[in-house]
Amino acid sequence: MAGDLARVDRNQRTGTGRQSNMSMIKIAVDAMGGDNAPEVEVLGSLEALRNYDLGVILVGQENRIAEHLPSRWRKEQRLEIVHANEVVTMEDAATSSFRKKKNSSLRIAANLVREGKADGFVSAGNTGAVMTTAKLVMGSLEQVDRPTVAAVLPTAKGFCVLLDVGANVDCKPRHLEQFAVMGHVYAHEILGITSPRVGLLSIGEEETKGNELTKEVHQVLKGSHLNYIGNIEGRDVYQGKVDVIVCDGFSGNIALKISEGLTEVVLNMLRDELTRTMTSKVGALLSKNAFRSLKKRLDYSEYGGAPLLGVRGSCIICHGRSNVNAIKNAIRVAMESIENRVNQRIEKELVGLFRKSTG
């Protein structure tokens, strides 16, 4: 699956704006963030080191990290540990944790990016705190008003990017226009889609459908250089009609949470039905490979996490229940975002959009 999501040939690109003879990309990992931290973060980081040419900085309580670090890895030059004695919990409010826990693993990981000691960071911690910390510590790109959280979703024809999925509940037209550009760049550079089709999530395909926000954004995107195909409805999200789906964070978060819940329920119902009778058990056995492939296709851990687009550096927000595979893939996605110069492309594309919309 990692290969499916990384079609761009990394060997032909230097990526981050550095010269090829400079040091390798380093990703800071908030080792204390997830529900099963730090074990999952440590083991996921080791998997990333085994599979990719990069450096990892584990940030967190050093003694707890060491408990899960095999002795043979303790002298690995590509692996560093930076101590942080505080932890941001899932119960902490985003803004208060930023103000009060300045020595948290989350805050220090973001500081490493700001100081140029790391190129990006990964966290499976408190989503609100991760977004707040990344925006306030790392800062936004010059052309970006509001960074956006994007989610990669499986479709009938491949993958699509849904954004925003929660960073911005109340949006203005300009924000959705920027989301469209950032989604376009991410789909092109990370998913390898040559000319991403962009759609605007609304209550109908007709131009007259939707609220004032979607109607205004629709007109702007029609005149942009993006491959904009118009409005799409909720039922189209997983059909593969578009590669980028744009919406405000309120609608996007609801759509994402409904999707996650539905996937879990359907898989559980399917498992129950396949074990109900002897006949169904035999059918399940014969279809075992197909069901395994379907489960993997729907598994969030294969996608790594949700990128926070529009901030300086790279920030990947993982699910709190992330497993080792999810952390490994999140580190990979952070690395690929830097290698493929996603931030530079976003700034360039936004300048072009604004010139056309105001010209």
Give the 3-state secondary structure of residue 68.
Answer: coil
CATH topology (fold) of 18-144+310-340: Isopropylmalate Dehydrogenase (3.40.718)
Give every CB contact of residue 308 below 8 A, 6+ residues apart in sequence: 130, 131, 134, 135, 147, 148, 149, 167, 315, 316, 317
Residue 266, both tokens: 């359907």
Distance CA 266, CA 335 (A): 33
Distance CA 139, CA 86 (A): 22
Q: What pTM did the predictor assign?
A: 0.83
CB atoms inside a 10 Å sphere around CB 77: 6
The CATH label, of 3.20.20.70, 1.10.3470.10, 3.40.718.10, 3.40.47.10, for the domain at 150-301+341-359 is: 3.40.718.10
Residue 202, both tokens: 């609304």
Distance CA 247, CA 175 (A): 10
Residues of the chain with CATH 3.40.718.10: 18-144+310-340, 150-301+341-359
> Which strand ranges, in their side-by-side order, compose the sheet holding 26-30?
79-83, 55-60, 26-30, 120-123, 314-317, 306-309, 148-155, 158-163, 244-246, 197-201, 227-232
Query: For tokens 């300045």, what's the residue?
Result: 102
Give every CB contact of residue 256 below 8 A, 6+ residues apart in sequence: 151, 162, 165, 166
Which DSSP helix (H) or strand (E) runs through 28?
A: strand 26-30
Which DSSP helix (H) or strand (E) runs through 337?
A: helix 324-339
Q: How far, rounded to the nearest angstrom, does the alpha carbon of residue 34 sit from its chain's CA centroid?
A: 15
Q: Supply the DSSP symbol for 263.
A: H
Query: For tokens 């989350």, what's the residue?
Result: 106
Closest alpha carbon to 167 in 94, 227, 221, 239: 94
Give every CB contact of residue 240 below 8 A, 6+ residues apart in sequence: 155, 156, 157, 158, 160
Tens of pLDDT along the chain (359 residues) come to: 334 444 333 333 333 334 333 579 999 999 998 889 899 999 999 999 999 999 999 999 999 999 999 988 888 889 999 999 999 988 888 888 888 999 999 999 999 999 999 999 999 999 899 999 999 999 999 889 999 999 988 888 888 999 989 888 899 999 999 999 999 999 999 888 999 999 999 998 888 888 899 999 999 998 888 999 999 998 898 888 999 999 999 999 898 888 877 777 877 777 776 777 777 666 666 666 666 665 666 555 566 689 999 999 999 999 888 899 999 999 999 999 999 999 999 998 888 765 554 44
